[in-house]
């Protein structure tokens, strides 16, 4: 199925399928509210059938916006947004700890009827204005398959420490809260996906899969406004060292993160970088393990 790409400079990039459905909108203009940790995000996200599969500024967490690259605990700063978890005190409103990710420009941008691919340069800025890290982000929309009822989004990150001291990456769990290891690439689902089904190659149920590792994890939800389900499949890149732990909940909210610091902090020394690749497949219908595995086997990495 062919796609059509529209770029409103300084605002967003939109991808529309041949059937007229806007399947992705990548927004890179700065958010108005610093408390929500200004950074680019992908929302709305839709299946080829037009089903909305992302949430935006839900009442429980206004800083959740579709699909975002995040860091909940980074050397004392919060690049996630909203309240900050402090051991022994719980969640506190600490606006002076909230950082942002500044869009610096696109270094590569290609689009045709088969795919969209761009490279974006960003700077991670701490609350006081210090430039802590430089990110090179790759986003690719591809494999828009009408017969399969699915399309794929690849998201890569290469992050370099600009400071003269190490950057320490953690999560609420590394700070003392049990099973709250959210950080990294984060998806917030729409409200009607609450209570959905999460499953992996081995195991099913968000509670059972929380904090586990696997090559992929799928989440299926049932829509309110139509008679039907949609499935999202989250897959780690082909690099073996990129298999992070899953942060996944179906209750009280639908959410999945590729958590790079679930149980343990890690440090990025001055001048050094890390790089990860991820894939998310957006599909119409309630897929099972066999269909997920077969579809992923038919996709390639570039």
Q: How confident is the model at residue 256 (pLDDT cuts 50, 70, 90)?
A: very high
Q: What is the pLDDT of residue 231?
A: 98
| Tokens read off for 274 | 């890390």
If you average pLDDT over every residue of the chain, what do you get? 97
Q: What's the pLDDT at 1?
A: 86
Average pLDDT over every residue of 247-251 = 98
- What confidence score (pLDDT) does residue 241 get? 57
> What pLDDT was estimated at residue 240?
61
pLDDT, mean of residues 134-141 = 98
Give yes or no for residue 92 having a pLDDT over 60.
yes
Tokens of 185: 């690439």
262 — pLDDT class (breaks 50, 70, 90) = very high
- Phi, psi at 269, each rounded to 5°: -65, 160
Q: Give the pLDDT band (50/70/90) at residue 239.
A: confident
pLDDT tens track for 30-87: 999 999 999 999 999 999 999 999 999 999 999 999 999 999 999 999 999 999 999 9
Contact 127, 77 (CB under 8 A): yes
Task: For residue 280, give both structure tokens.
Answer: 């998310």
- For 4-298, CATH number out of 3.30.70, 3.30.1380, 2.60.120, 2.70.98 equals 2.70.98
Answer yes or no: is pLDDT of 290 > 80.
Answer: yes
* Average pLDDT of the segment spanning 212-230: 96
- Assess contact for 78 and 93: CB atoms under 8 A: no
Residue-level pLDDT at 17? 98
Instruction: Give the C-alpha distances (Å, rounded to integers) separating 238 from 155, 156, 278, 302.
Output: 13, 12, 9, 10
% of the chain residues with pLDDT over 90: 97
Q: What is the pTM of this model?
A: 0.97
């Amino acid at each position: 199925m062919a796609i059509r790409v529209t770029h409103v400079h300084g605002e967003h990039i939109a991808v529309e399928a041949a059937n007229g459905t806007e399947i992705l909108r990548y927004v890179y203009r700065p958010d108005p509210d610093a408390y929500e940790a200004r950074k680019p995000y992908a929302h709305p996200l839709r299946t080829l059938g037009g089903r909305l599969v992302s949430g935006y500024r839900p009442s429980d967490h206004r800083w959740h916006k579709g699909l975002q690259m995040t860091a909940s605990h980074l050397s004392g700063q919060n690049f996630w947004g909203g309240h900050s978890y402090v051991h022994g005190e719980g969640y506190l409103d600490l606006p002076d700890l909230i950082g942002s990710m500044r869009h610096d420009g696109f270094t590569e941008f290609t689009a045709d009827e088969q795919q969209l691919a761009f490279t974006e340069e960003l700077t991670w800025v701490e609350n006081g204005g210090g430039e802590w890290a430089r990110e090179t982000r790759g986003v690719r929309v591809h494999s828009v398959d009408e017969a399969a009822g699915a399309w794929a989004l690849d998201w890569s990150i290469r992050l370099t420490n600009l400071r003269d001291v190490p950057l320490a990456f953690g999560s609420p769990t590394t700070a003392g809260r049990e099973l709250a290891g959210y950080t990294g690439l984060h998806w917030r689902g729409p409200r009607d996906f609450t209570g959905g089904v999460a499953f992996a190659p081995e195991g099913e149920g968000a509670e059972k899969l929380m904090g586990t590792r696997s090559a992929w994890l799928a989440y299926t939800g049932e829509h309110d406004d139509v008679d039907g389900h949609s499935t999202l499949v989250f897959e780690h890149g082909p690099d073996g060292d990129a298999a992070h732990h899953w942060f996944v909940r179906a209750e009280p909210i639908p959410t999945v993160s590729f958590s790079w610091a679930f149980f343990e902090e890690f440090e990025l020394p001055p001048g050094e970088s890390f790089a990860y690749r991820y894939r998310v497949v957006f599909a119409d219908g309630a897929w099972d393990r066999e269909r997920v595995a077969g579809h992923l086997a038919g996709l390639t990495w570039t």
